[in-house]
Amino acid sequence: MSDRLQTGISRLDELLGGGLLPGTLTVVVGATGIGKTQLGLQFARAGLDQEGENGVIFDMTSRGDTQNHADYAQRLFSWELRDKPVGENIHPDQMWDRAAARFDSMHIFNRAGRRVTISDMEFDDWKTWKVDLSKKINEAIAFFYGNFVHGVRRCVIDGVEPADKPSDSFQFHMFEYVYHQILRKEADWVARDLFRVQFRKNAEQVERHMYDYSRVGCLLLYTCHEMMMDELLERRIQSGDVLSNASTIILMGKYRDGMKMCRALSVAKHRGSACDESIVPFEITDAGLTLDAGS
């Protein structure tokens, strides 16, 4: 199973038949505070051992805060995340310099206040926001491309908040672009989107820094309203829901054990691979998620 992407959690890798399949989308579903971010960071950190490079964190939280990735990374692994400042563009000539282009994380949105969906906005506000989204997309291309050309082969996308309809979430619009137009696109075509009129000037370097996009793994952390595991198992997938296109779905929820609430996870879907569908209790410790070995 050497071609599988290990999650950094050996018991979870066992449930997945050896790990996640590269070149596919994995969605981790659970309520706020269940442990998704810790799982995501363990997956990202596992890249250091397997590919020689940590994975990257792309945070789409829109409330003006973040998911505390830096704090978790420092506490769990003594890993100091190098954050890409939003609005500071990398010059094309610097893309080939690892020190200038290689970042561990990026918080793409920075809007203070309540969560925003498309229906929350007036028409003119949505037009303005779409212009801003276009700028964010260009920064996202530079962030991912700058990491992939320097050996990164896994990414965690966090901060996707629940919406009544997937089509109402600008975060889903952003994710769809990132996934289909960056993560699942030939490296030279991503470079064309990035460099545009300067592509010819950089063509030789692009050829020298080609990477295989089919080896890139993507873990999407998706916050839902459902908290209990039974509710998650019964959750219906809506048309356009990102879960419908996921190759692997991992559910994280709570269950009642007498007078105590406990956490558990289950692999609900693992297309193209055998998997163990057991509901496995886990704990959040100083080392991250720890699954029951005998479950």
Which residues of the chain have a pLDDT value below 50?
1, 112-114
| pLDDT per residue as tens digits for the range 259-290 | 999 999 999 999 989 899 899 999 999 889 99
Residue 149 phi, psi dihedral angles, 5° rounding: -70, -10
pLDDT at 146: 97
Question: In angstroms, rounded to a whole number, what is the distance separating the alpha carbons of residues 196 and 183?
Answer: 18
pLDDT at 218: 97
pTM for this one? 0.92
Give CATH for domain 10-291.
Answer: 3.40.50.300
pLDDT at 1: 40
What are the domain boundaries of the chain?
10-291
Cβ-based neighbours of 131, under 8 Å, separated by 6 or more: none
pLDDT at 164: 67
Residue 289 bridge partners (DSSP):
284
Q: In the structure encoding, which two tokens stand for residue 105, read together?
A: 């994380």
Closest CA to 228 of 277, 172, 270, 266: 266
| pLDDT per residue as tens digits for the range 178-220 | 999 999 999 999 999 999 999 999 999 999 999 999 999 999 9
pLDDT at 231: 95
pLDDT at 121: 67
Residue whose structure tokens are 């080939």: 96
pLDDT at 136: 87
